[in-house]
Every structure is written in structure tokens, then in C-alpha cells.
Structure 1
Amino acid sequence: MSFITACCNTVPVKGNYTPTGTTYTNNQMTYYIVGDKGAKRGVVFVYDIFGLHPNAYQVADLLSNTGLRVIIPDLLEGRPLTENDMGKPEVFAEFRAKRGTWEYNKDKIQASVRVLHSEGTESVGTIGLCWGAKLSLVALGDAKIGVKSVALVHPSLLTTKDFASVLGPVLLLPTKDEGDFSEGFALVKSGPYGGDSYEERLMDMFHGFCGARGDFSNPDIARNVDRVIALAASFFNKTL
């Protein structure tokens, strides 16, 4: 499975947002964390290929307003893909083969789960956008990571095998641009976590709308971002 065309060619917007949370560094890893420190439910937010874009902060803050403690690990270590990388297949191929892999990022995601638990969070899920959805889904299939459910928003790179390996419920929110995930999601629905799993395709939205490619000042996009937040909040309230 490769990145979809829209992911490789669509540039990020120029976001303008002031985050409400805290950024800090621990063991050479930078984190953004927001929400009630006493929250019993927490979420690791795995951003898209544009990293700590203003929209990533804003979505994390919106999620935290629903009662979740939200942490964003800077997996790309201050080196996200940029507008200049769009339309360059070799850049995406290298990203996918090296620092975009599960092996490169799994320890960072597990460390983020531990941060939340160290604060008193009892149950942790993940939410991922684009490439981040791939990492989030794989995390749900690795018992060592310790996440209990996952929300996937305009995902890239997902395979049927990823769905077959999950150890918890899945919220799947593709747009008109992503492919058909019916075979993989059917495996989830027919398994032990199917009852709490849900799919909704946002047909009037495009790949990246809830991340760095979305103009949140556009009423239609803002409404759909709010829809994602509401669905994710309800899902995590039920599954964490």
C-alpha cells in the first residue's frame, strides 16, 4: 500500500493558531500535551506528514475539550515534510522506507503512552491522521504498546493485515479520496471488537482536511472537523 495521490501532491495551508497546552522535552523527545491532567482517559495523537502544524495543535486542543488528556509526540523530530516536497515520489518513498516506519516510531509512541500513565491516566487510545493513522492502527495490534482503541482519520497506507491484527475497537473516518477499506474493516466488525467499531465515510471532504491541508476558517471544513471531534470523543468515551 502506498500514499494516495492527494497525499503526495496537496500542499499544507498556512495555519494561524495559538495552542493552549504545554510543550516540553524529555529524553530528547518533544511532546505537546493538553487537557485535564486528572483525566482518566487519554489519547496519543499521531499527526500527518507535516508534523506539528498549527492545525495539529488545534485538533488536539479540541479533543482535550471533550475531557481527554491528549499528547502529541513529535515523531518527525522537527523535520516534517514541507510544501517543497510535494509531487516528489522519491521523497515519499524514502519517508515510507525510513523514518515513517513502525520500527522507527514504535518506541516513541510507547513512551507517549507511558507519559500519560505516569500522570494517572488509566486508559489510552490513539488517533492518527494520514500516515499517522497507519502507525496508530499498527499500535493497536501490538500488545506491548498498551493502547485500547484507535480512531483513523483520512488514513494512508493501511492494509488488510493491519486490520486483522487489532486488539481493540476501531473508528474509521475516510474521505472521498481514500480507497476501499471494506475487506479489512469487515475483519474488525466480525471479530471481538466489532460491536464498538464504526466507519463513516465523509464524502464531501478531502484527504487532509482534518490536518495540515484543511482551511479551518472554511465553514464546511470546520463543520466536518467538529464532526470528527464529536465522533472521536463519543468513541473514546465508550472504548477507553
Structure 2
Amino acid sequence: MSLRFITILLCLISVAALGQYEVLEAKKVKKQNGEKVKKRDFLSKTDTIFIAEKGHLTLDVESAMHMKLAPGIYHIGSESTRHNEWYGTHLELTKQLKRKGMIMCKFKYKTLVVPGSDRHYEIDRIELDQKGLVNIQSDTSALTISWVNPDYTYKGGYHLVVRDFYNNGFIDIIEIGEEIDSITFYPGMYGHKHMYYNIIADDCRASLRYKIQVNSPNAYSHQRTNFLKPDN
């Protein structure tokens, strides 16, 4: 083993031991002392950083999912702990869907092709009564959604799937009993500002996904983007 390789290895071990994270992307980011943060720098868990308007930061942290931060003031240690805990939740929910055989399942929808265009519509999806962006004003505000399954003979259960808008990681999966066509939940309880949700039946037939924006002080924005841009 060469001396150079040993030196590099020891440096990497030291970085990990100190709780330092490599900067993968940085725009308009400064440390508390005013020092500019650039790509390939390392930030410590003890660092506090400021991200200006239209800026962003992406860090390589302990979890396999990179941590992305929108404009604001952040303590890196607190943010990495929050992010890694959420990623653990995402993994558990992924396993839950895998056990049910639903993580990669696909439903063969009937499609309607628009004459003279390359657009098509899946005409037999589950239809939700709540469409478009939903604004939630507090942690205790409830959202009730109901749906219609075009297969009137279906007798199985459903799942409400809630995901983070930017990372697409699972936030919650709520099982819904058989022959039930509505559910009430509280989007503000998750602490995510931008989310989307949809309903998936046990046979993999699903609704389109729809957006939720939580406007309470405890809601956290994970990334910069135009959230109002249609994505269905």
C-alpha cells in the first residue's frame, strides 16, 4: 500500500470523524463569518450558513439522499440530523411498499389520443375530487379528499401516498380500508412545505398526483423551484 494512498485514506477518515460534508452545489451561500461557500468545499456540523434569495446548497451527508437547502439560515448539524432521520423514514416506507409488491407496480390504463397531436390521456385513473394546488395554513388544518374508482366492481383497499416534492422521498403512506372512498389527514404535521399526494389502489390503479403547500412557520422548504408549474 503506497504512502500516498494511506495519506488520502487518513484524510477521508478525519473528514468523516469531524462530521464534515462535501459541498456538491452552492450558489449565493456564505458562512456566518462572511466566507463564501463554493463547490468542493467542506462544511462542518458546527457551521451556520446563510443562503441568499435565489441561492441553494447541496451537501453529501450520511444518507444516500443528498441534502438540499433553499434560501435561509441553517445550522448544518441540526439540518443534517433532520434530513438523515427523514431519509430513514423514507427507507422504511419504501420497504412497506415493497412487501406489498407496489413499489414498481404499473397499471395498464386505457388511453385517449388527441387527434392531430402526440398527447394522450389515461382515461381510467382514479379520480380525486380535490384538484390543483392545495394551500394549508397551519399545522392543525385538515385536508379531506375523496375519490371515485372507475372500476365499480373493485373491492380492495387503497393507500394515500405523500411525498416530498423536490426529492420525491416518501413522507407517509396511510393504508385505507376496503370500500372506503375518502380520508382526512393533516399535511402540516409533517414539517414539509412542498409535497404532493395521490391515491393508489391495491391493484396499482392510481390517481394523478396533486400538490400541497403548507404555509405554517414550521414548514420546511427543501429546494428551490417553481412549485406552481403544472406537473400533471
* Greater per-residue helix proportion: 1
TM-score range, shorter chain: under 0.3
Answer 1 or 2: higher relative contact order, Cα 8 Å, separation at least 6: 1
* Greater per-residue strand proportion: 2
Query: TM-score under structure 1 normalisation?
Result: 0.24
